Amino acid sequence: MEFFIFAIIAYILGSIPSALIVGKVGYNVDIREHGSGNLGATNTFRILGKKAGIIVTLADILKGTAAVLIPILFDADIHPLLIGLFAVIGHTYPVFAKFKGGKAVATSGGIILGIYPLLFLIMVGTFLLTLYLTKYVSLSSMITGVITVFTSLFFRDVILVIVITALTVFVFYRHRENIKRIYKGTEPKIKWM
């Protein structure tokens, strides 16, 4: 019962559509009607600019972090990352935005931040370096996932490795259209780095 309750709370936290809220409240723009139509940080950066993009990124990360802190605060005998997964599902398929959300990257990072801050910093460093070299947000997200799978092995936490692997596969799945565009050479590159 405890797991079920925590999972629902995590899903609801994840379902908070940060990009939609920031767009409508701060800019009177429905982000779903512009760019890729995606409720994530990348589309927010592209449509609303750096300030909005940073706010959405931080909010999406913190949703994941808050979710994994729930079982810790209640001293529950549940691995926090298992609860965190429901925040990622909520972010990707949010009940508050017709089940059409982001691509799971920032919130996935957030659940890692809540448990393994060092691993999160490695993820951020990997992402930024890859982004600097390739200029592709989508490709950087996927490469970061793969490198994080291997890095997680050093933390000697079987659940961590399983969760990271599952999230990486899911991130690849969510970026399947991006993969096609990268292959065709039509994927947009960032211009600010």
How does pLDDT run across 66-75, given as a tens digit for each residue? 999 999 999 9
Would 189 be classed as within a structural domain?
no
**CA proximity to 111, closest of 171, 164, 148:** 164
Would 190 be classed as within a structural domain?
no
pTM, full prediction:
0.94
Count of structural domains, the chain:
1
| Long-range contacts of the stretch 25-30 (C-beta < 8 A, 24+) | 26/52, 26/55, 27/52
- For 75, the token pair is 């001293």
Would 156 be classed as within a structural domain?
yes
Would 192 be classed as within a structural domain?
no
Residue 51 is predicted with a pLDDT of 94
Would 173 be classed as within a structural domain?
yes
Would 18 be classed as within a structural domain?
yes
Would 61 be classed as within a structural domain?
yes
Q: Which residue has the higher pLDDT, 22 or 193?
A: 22
Segments forming the whole domain that contains residue 147: 2-184
Residue 36 is predicted with a pLDDT of 85
For 163-174, what is the mean pLDDT? 97
